[in-house]
Amino acid sequence: MKPNKIKQVRGLYALFAGILLVCLGLFFSNVIGSADDSQVVQIPQAEDYQHTFFITDLVANESVYSASQAINGTPDDLSARAHVSEFTVEFASNKGDYANDPRATWILILQWFGPLALLAIIVLVAIVLVSFYRSSKHGKIFPIRQVSLLVVVGLLVIAVSLSSDTRAFLERQMAADLLAGTDWEPTVAFTIHFVNIFFGLTIIFLAHIFKIGREMQEDQELTI
């Protein structure tokens, strides 16, 4: 392996390790976190209301979580109390103002982006596998096309995760505005699914390793 290739590999490993350490630091310092997605769900119109919808998986604030409820029916020597950490709210109104909120438009866009991006990922992965199979039959393990597509797949994985997290944040903001001043005003925080980000970064990292492997293979073929 040539010295410059060794430096490239070491540089990639150092970069990957640095990104991983930064993400772990942010995660454990609670700057970023991980939580299930909230979701706006349209439901049939309630009686006397024109607009009815749910926002699910809202994170309860401290006052709601602290209000515990005794659980009956446990053994005599066991006491159990329930705490609300997440909850779903049903909203009903005769005004359609919430639908005109710019956040509602972005939520709709992000809701469509996720499935479309996932479909693109599936198609690209299928192309990569077919490309790898065909190139391996000709003795070329790291085709350039495969490497480029892997980078795109990694970027899409990260984009899907961040779009889902952004949508959840906007939905929590809407719910907090609608419930402002009540005991059930939810906690609003931008949470990140760290595992998904790490998975996307890993794919991009492996793609660059494959690229270096391809360049080494070409250098070897020229030498021969």
pLDDT along the chain (224 residues), means of 10: 63 72 64 49 52 76 84 86 84 68 84 90 85 69 73 92 89 86 83 81 83 69 61
State residue 95's pLDDT score. 65
φ and ψ of 191, to 5 deg: -105, 145
Task: For residue 203, give Cα distances in angstroms to 151, 169, 175.
Answer: 7, 26, 35
Q: What is the pLDDT of residue 179?
A: 86
Torsional class of 181: left (φ above 0), alpha (ψ -120 to 50), beta (otherwise): left
Beta strands (DSSP E) in 60-212 are 69-70, 81-82, 86-93
Global pTM reads 0.71
Per-domain boundaries in the chain: 3-30+97-223
Helix, coil or strand: residue 179: coil
